[in-house]
Amino acid sequence: MNEPLVVLVFATLEPDHIAQIERVDPRVRVVTATDLGRALEVAAQAEVMVGWNVPREAVQRAGRLRWIHSTAAGVDQLLHPEVLEREIVITSSSGIHQPLVEHVFALALALTRRLHVAIRNQLKQRWERREAVGDEIRGKTLGVLGLGTIGTEIAEKAAVFGMRVIGTKRTPRPVPHVDRVYPPEGLPEVLGGSDVVVIALPLTPGTRGLIGRDQLRAMKRSAFLINIGRGPVVDETALVHALREGWIAGAGLDVFEREPLPADSPLWKMEQVIITPHVSGAWPGYLDAAVPVLCDNLRRYLQGAPMRNLVDKTRGY
């Protein structure tokens, strides 16, 4: 038998998940990194690493590493200097994040229908109808920043609610259910024309701090900002100021500049903000969906065939 192909996994897998991966080929041996010490012991033998976050120290010790598979859609946390400098392939789990799309509309509906107000009043045992009366999203304009795989699915679901959709895409071309696709330079038009703005962008040098004071001022005072992409895309200090000054009506935030969100962040106490702890793409069956994507790519890798969800390391997605 040929030498084992060691797959070092930085995720909590069930025995069935490990069995699925090892059934791909008799050469495959899965090792789970229960802690950093264990990971560093095995790293030198690993040809493949898997996880949402692969520690840089493990990559530095992995002279045989050829491929990293992200169990998430985003890969910014994997782009260590050693990964960029070496011929290491990166793939993602893009395409399995339907719950993330649902989370976007959970936030959009909650903010529009003012459920956040009703829930706070419920906890205070207050029956107050006037301040809990919400609007409808039908007929409103949804602006999607980042019409990639996830952004396109968001646009599709928006059509079900009768929303008009506009958005940005690095290389503009027609997108189903989107009325107008702008290049990145069209950001001001998207922000100014939207009732709900959804950030579905990856974190890259070009998107870090993209939404700051000027961009928030460009939005409607009645608009909501929803971020399910990456926290550092938004200048949080500017966002707090915008919310305090009423530049926008509210925000639904799942990701933040620092995670966990610090206890002293003003965002916690803002009544027009809904906070979720980076769970928009998570659900109990996540790994049940992610492991088959890994297995398919593992077969392709072993066969020398083109792999799915290849990441352009220079672009960061």
Is there a domain that residue 308 lies in?
no
**Mean of the pLDDT values across residues 309-316?**
96
Is there a domain that residue 316 lies in?
no
In this structure, the answer to whether residues 256 and 231 fall within a common structural domain is yes
Q: Given CA atoms 3, 4, 5, 6 in this order, what sign does their dihedral have? A: negative
> Model confidence over 161-195: pLDDT tens digits?
999 999 999 999 999 999 999 999 999 999 999 99
Predicted local distance difference test score (pLDDT) of residue 1: 47
17 is catalytic: no
| β-strand partners of 7 | 30, 48
CB 141 within 8 A of CB 191: no
259 is catalytic: yes
> Model confidence over 213-256: pLDDT tens digits?
999 999 999 999 999 999 999 999 999 999 999 999 999 999 99
In this structure, the answer to whether residues 253 and 298 fall within a common structural domain is no
Is there a domain that residue 196 lies in?
yes
Is there a domain that residue 24 lies in?
yes
230 is catalytic: yes
In this structure, the answer to whether residues 112 and 197 fall within a common structural domain is yes
By CB neighbour count within 10 A (0-12 exposed, 13-18 middle, 19+ buried), where does 202 fall? buried
Is there a domain that residue 313 lies in?
no
> Model confidence over 155-164: pLDDT tens digits?
999 999 999 9
Predicted local distance difference test score (pLDDT) of residue 34: 85
In this structure, the answer to whether residues 109 and 227 fall within a common structural domain is yes
Give per-residue burial for 49-61: e unless 16+ CB within 10 Å, then b: bbbbebbeebbeb
Is there a domain that residue 206 lies in?
yes
pTM: 0.96
In this structure, the answer to whether residues 127 and 26 fall within a common structural domain is no
Which domain, by its residues, includes 79? 5-95+284-303
Of 17, 97, 164, 230, which one is the catalytic site residue?
A: 230
In this structure, the answer to whether residues 85 and 105 fall within a common structural domain is no
Predicted local distance difference test score (pLDDT) of residue 70: 98
In this structure, the answer to whether residues 221 and 183 fall within a common structural domain is yes
The number of folded domains in the chain is 2
In this structure, the answer to whether residues 231 and 288 fall within a common structural domain is no
Of 66, 113, 114, 278, which one is the catalytic site residue?
A: 278
- What CA–CA distance (Å, rounded) separates 3 from 27? 7
Is there a domain that residue 35 lies in?
yes
CATH of the domain at 83: 3.40.50.720
Of 259, 271, 299, 315, which one is the catalytic site residue?
A: 259
In this structure, the answer to whether residues 26 and 152 fall within a common structural domain is no
pLDDT band at 110 (very low <50, low <70, confident <90, very high): very high
Predicted local distance difference test score (pLDDT) of residue 266: 98
In this structure, the answer to whether residues 131 and 61 fall within a common structural domain is no
Is there a domain that residue 310 lies in?
no
Give per-residue burial for 78-113: e unless 16+ CB within 10 Å, then b: bbbeebeeeebbbbbbbebbebbbebbbbbbbbbbb
In this structure, the answer to whether residues 221 and 255 fall within a common structural domain is yes
Per cent of the chain over pLDDT 90 is 98
- What CA–CA distance (Å, rounded) separates 34 from 54? 13
In this structure, the answer to whether residues 114 and 213 fall within a common structural domain is yes
